[in-house]
Amino acid sequence: MSDAIATAFEGVTTVDAGLRVASAVLADAGVPSPDVDAELLLAHVTGLARGVVRARAVTASPLTTDEQEALVAAITRRASREPLQHITGWASFRHLELHVGPGVFVPRPETEGVAQLAIDALRAVPDSSPVAVDLGTGSGALALAMASEVPTATVVAVELSPDAAVWTRRNIAAVGVDNVRLVEGDLTDAVPELDATVSVVVSNPPYVPVGMVPRDPEVRLHDPALALYGGEDGLDLVRALSLTARRLLRPGGALVIEHGELQGGAIRDLLTADGWRSPATHPDLTGRDRATTAVR
């Protein structure tokens, strides 16, 4: 594939031509958003903002030889269905830009709504310095969103995978907030010193049933299995999460769980059986059920 892609870019010396060829190559490879990805990758290799790339395309600005070679390399990687975020090295999440790469789950736009539910619950706490816990934090997206948007809160990010924790630490340092800390360990016995003191527990746990391998190569081949698969029905970690959150939360505390669009009913039943109050499922911006909340 790489030779064919290099051939396709022969004679490409301007920004507009580079975008046309890049988009065509990515479309042929089945990339879902070839035009957007072409612009973002050209912006990445040139060090320019995406808007500047668009402007330079209109004026047919030249590409240097180094820029052309870097674009071919980036498009070759993306055409192999390596995630865009692994190539650029970052993922946007709410107002944050998070470092991501192999070993950590890439945060998705739909999780931004889950973060909003947790942030709203945290802001509603009457305490001047509420405590929140993000179980299975991965890149730290949920924890850092809460910590940066509710600066009076103390946020604890729990992560089992050493590979993912590398990225969590990097993002905590990059965002520069001082009200979040990482704890490495399993969510089942996480931070017992916080028992009955936490106001909000949030989690995006692994919830894909083991028999349902994701279709997208970006997910199937590059997201860590530890962050994807949740047992036969996808709810093994949700069951453990329910018990841990009941231990951590004080009475009246809020639980926020991200899940698959068909799992809301099963999770509400599970939480009700565990003694949670007011379980409710919430849609994302596409109308798909995405998160369930409950009260301790």
- The phi and psi torsions of 259 (rounded to 5 degrees) equal -160, 175
Residue that is written with structure tokens 């990515």 in the block: 26
Instruction: For residue 85, tell me if it sits in a domain.
Output: no
The pLDDT tens digits for 131-165 are: 999 999 999 999 999 999 999 999 999 999 999 99
Question: Does residue 241 sit in the same domain as residue 135?
Answer: yes
DSSP state, 135?
E
The pLDDT tens digits for 112-131 are: 999 999 999 999 999 999 99
d(CA 125, CA 116) in angstroms, rounded, equals: 14
Question: Does residue 68 sit in the same domain as residue 95?
Answer: no
Dihedral of the CA atoms 136, 142, 147, 150 (nearest 10)? Answer: -130
Q: What percent of the chain has pLDDT over 90?
A: 85
Q: Which of 37, 100, 95, 110 is nearest to 286 (CA)?
A: 110
Question: Does residue 140 sit in the same domain as residue 283?
Answer: yes
Question: Does residue 150 sit in the same domain as residue 9?
Answer: no
pLDDT at site 225: 79
The pLDDT tens digits for 278-296 are: 999 999 989 999 999 999 9
Domain boundaries, position 28: 2-80
Question: Does residue 44 sit in the same domain as residue 96?
Answer: no
Question: Does residue 118 sit in the same domain as residue 27?
Answer: no
pLDDT at site 246: 97
Give the E-state strand segments of the chain in sequence order. 90-93, 96-99, 131-135, 154-159, 180-184, 198-203, 249-258, 277-283, 289-295
Checking if the pLDDT of 1 tops 80, the result is no
Instruction: For residue 96, tell me if it sits in a domain.
Output: yes
The pLDDT tens digits for 58-95 are: 999 999 999 999 999 999 999 999 999 999 999 999 99
Instruction: For residue 183, tell me if it sits in a domain.
Output: yes
Instruction: For residue 236, tell me if it sits in a domain.
Output: yes
Compute CA 68 distance to the chain's CA centroid, rounded to the nearest angstrom.
30
Domain-ending residue, one of 23, 53, 80 = 80
Question: Does residue 171 sit in the same domain as residue 251?
Answer: yes
d(CA 116, CA 162) in angstroms, rounded, equals: 27
Question: Does residue 196 sit in the same domain as residue 64?
Answer: no
Domain-ending residue, one of 80, 112, 136 = 80
Question: Does residue 114 sit in the same domain as residue 151?
Answer: yes
The pLDDT tens digits for 235-272 are: 999 999 999 999 999 999 999 999 999 999 999 999 99
Domain-ending residue, one of 57, 80, 103 = 80
184, burial (CB in 10 Å: exposed 0-12, middle 13-18, buried 19+): middle
Instruction: For residue 239, tell me if it sits in a domain.
Output: yes
- pTM of the entire structure? 0.91
Contacts of 264 (CB under 8 A, 6+ apart): 281, 289, 292
pLDDT at site 166: 97
- CB of 210 closer than 8 Å to CB of 260: no
CATH of the domain at 42: 1.10.8
CATH of the domain at 117: 3.40.50.150
Instruction: For residue 105, tell me if it sits in a domain.
Output: yes
Instruction: For residue 59, tell me if it sits in a domain.
Output: yes
Compute CA 290 distance to the chain's CA centroid, rounded to the nearest angstrom.
14
Contacts of 112 (CB under 8 A, 6+ apart): 93, 94, 145
How many CB atoms are located within 10 Å of the residue 198 CB?
Answer: 23
Domains: count for the chain? 2
Q: What percent of the chain has pLDDT over 70?
A: 100
Q: Which residues of 133-165 are buried (b: 16+ CB within 10 A; e: fewer)?
A: bbbbbbbbbbbbbbbbbbeebbbbbbbbbeebb
The pLDDT tens digits for 186-242 are: 989 999 999 999 999 999 999 888 878 777 888 887 888 788 788 889 999 999 999
Checking if the pLDDT of 50 tops 80, the result is yes
Q: Kindly report the average pLDDT of the chain as a whole number.
A: 94
d(CA 1, CA 105) in angstroms, rounded, equals: 27
